[in-house]
Amino acid sequence: MSKFVADLHLHSAYARATSKDLNFDTISAWAKWKGIQLLSSADFTHPVWWEETKNKLKESKYDGFYHHDRVARSASPAEREAIYFVLGSEISSIYSQGGRVRRTHCLLYFPEMSDVDKFNSLLGKRANLRADGRPIVGLSAKQLLELALSVNEKVIFIPAHAWTPWFSLYGSNSGFDSIDECFGDLSKYIYAIETGLSSDPAMNWRIKELDNRSVVSFSDAHSAPKMGREATIFEADFSYEGVLEALKTPAGPVSSVSQTPQSVSGLTEIPSSLGPSSLPPADRNPRVAFTVEFFPEEGKYHFTGHRNCNVRHSPIETAKEGIICPQCKKKLTIGVMHRVEQLADKSRSEGFKPEDRPDFKSLVPLLEILAESLKTNTYSERVSNDYKKLIDHFGSELTILLKAPIDELENVGGERTAEGIRKVRTGDIVIEPGFDGVYGVVRIWPTSLSGRVEQKQIRIPVQKQANGQTGLFD
């Protein structure tokens, strides 16, 4: 078995509202800088991108995974490490069920290119696959899963960003109250759900039907710099079958709980390759070992609200004041936190954690830390230069954010940057929660908040060390 970092939800340049620079060369380069070993090939339903995928990705020695060398032959051996891909895509379903319009997004993965060819041929009879890398189909989520299973019973099928109000499994506006309601007798094939940016594992642990399913997190990147903002660390055979088996093994039995969600405060090892140093004990079951998270408050649907009227409510405020906008009298967009409260098991209050669930670490992307440190924006030349300097020295963004010694960070990146990374590691930050499509705002040095909505700030508590675990890869 190996431990490896995976980001299995991203897009190509052929999906709507994505960067035109999302090609395999750019994706592979950023994966190396981010510290990711396994990526989704993305958007395999789009015919032009799929042809490029078949031309650029080659079979590797790891079953069901494909590789793409991201640099020229003249690069150093270390720089020639391959980045590996699994064949994946996201599909949007819009349909009627139970007298309501339903909108869901789902992630699909196949082990073989022949599987994708067959699936695309079947799906292409029902939808215009050329219009968007994330195609819209009239099939229900269950029908889509049934179609995928007819191609290969080992398809991995994951409801994407499961809590987003408008396009998700549990979405408040067009989703379902349970997996069974959505997928019926095919629910047994749903081995995992994706948290999305506005929720984290702790929020999902409160949902009883997820006890026997894995909770995973990926970036849903629409541009290369956004890759890795959420990721999942697997402990499994480095193969398609290994990932599948890990997803089928979410945790041991729920024997006891802690009322304080815990996250690891440091790392002892980050795998930069698939060498012997990353091997866990051979007798351990394949599993999701850990996830790296966006602070969910930064997600754009965390709180309930109405952006046109600058109204933002926490779940407590929503329960007290209702879901009608006090300004325009229209219905508010129900946020993810409130939706979790609606569906959570009543015995599981906020902070519930099953003993055997994988832990997680919430982070702020390095580009955002540098931008605030330098008092500029993430696209500035100063931020880009400092980012490259840190990557050249430490190897990857995950190493910088989670492992690099603070004194060494100070020597390489400067005192203020080192302080910012330390504050993020300990949760010493303030966030204006996102709502109704508006991203939350992180402040590491909270001297001047936006004032977008008054006094709706959350100070993130210092995250506690997981019991018996001293690092991400222990």
State residue 284's pLDDT score: 75
Give the phi and the psi of residue 323 in degrees, each rounded to 5.
-110, 15
Global pTM reads: 0.90
Give the phi and the psi of residue 105 in degrees, each rounded to 5.
-115, 135
Tokens of 368: 């955002």
Q: 2-298+352-362 adopts what CATH topology?
A: TIM Barrel (3.20.20)
Q: List CB contacts of 364: < 8 A, sequence separation 6 or more.
A: 295, 298, 424, 429, 442, 444
Among 168, 195, 223, 293, smallest CA distance to 23 is for 223
Tokens of 434: 């996102």
Q: List CB contacts of 156: < 8 A, sequence separation 6 or more.
A: 107, 108, 109, 191, 192, 243, 244, 247
Sign of the C-alpha dihedral computed for residues 441, 445, 446 and 448 taken in this order: negative
**Token pair 């819009």 in the structure block, residue:** 94
Tokens of 289: 């070992």
Neighbours of 458 (CB within 10 A): 16
State residue 471's pLDDT score: 38
Tens place of pLDDT per residue across the chain (474 aa)? 899 999 999 999 999 999 999 999 999 999 999 999 999 999 999 999 999 999 999 999 999 999 986 544 434 454 556 799 999 999 999 999 999 999 999 999 999 999 999 999 999 999 999 999 999 999 999 999 999 999 999 999 999 999 999 999 999 999 999 999 999 999 999 999 999 999 999 999 999 999 999 999 999 999 999 999 999 999 999 999 999 999 999 864 333 333 333 333 333 345 655 443 455 555 678 999 999 999 999 999 999 999 999 999 999 999 999 999 999 999 999 999 999 999 999 999 998 988 889 999 999 999 999 999 999 999 999 999 999 999 999 999 999 999 999 999 999 999 999 999 999 999 999 999 999 999 999 999 987 554 444 445 665 654 433 333 333 333
CA distance 325 to 15: 33
**Token pair 């754009």 in the structure block, residue:** 300
State residue 463's pLDDT score: 43
State residue 271's pLDDT score: 60
CA distance 167 to 41: 22
State residue 261's pLDDT score: 33
Among 97, 65, 363, smallest CA distance to 241 is for 65
State residue 335's pLDDT score: 97
Q: List CB contacts of 288: < 8 A, sequence separation 6 or more.
A: 214, 215, 216, 232, 233, 234, 235, 246, 247, 250, 358
What type of residue is 257? V
Query: Is the distance from CB of 268 to CB of 278 less than 8 angstroms?
Result: no
CA distance 367 to 397: 9
State the DSSP string of 312-329: EE-HHHHHHH-SB-TTT-
- 97: enclosing H helix or E strand: strand 83-97
Among 411, 44, 37, smallest CA distance to 232 is for 37
State the DSSP string of 187-231: GGG--EEE--TT--HHHHTT-GGGTTSEEE----BSSGGGTTSSE
State residue 1's pLDDT score: 86
* Exposure letters 110-122 (e unless 16+ CB within 10 A, then b): bbbbebbeebbee
CA distance 66 to 55: 11
Domain spans, the chain: 2-298+352-362, 365-428
CA distance 317 to 304: 9
CA distance 339 to 347: 16
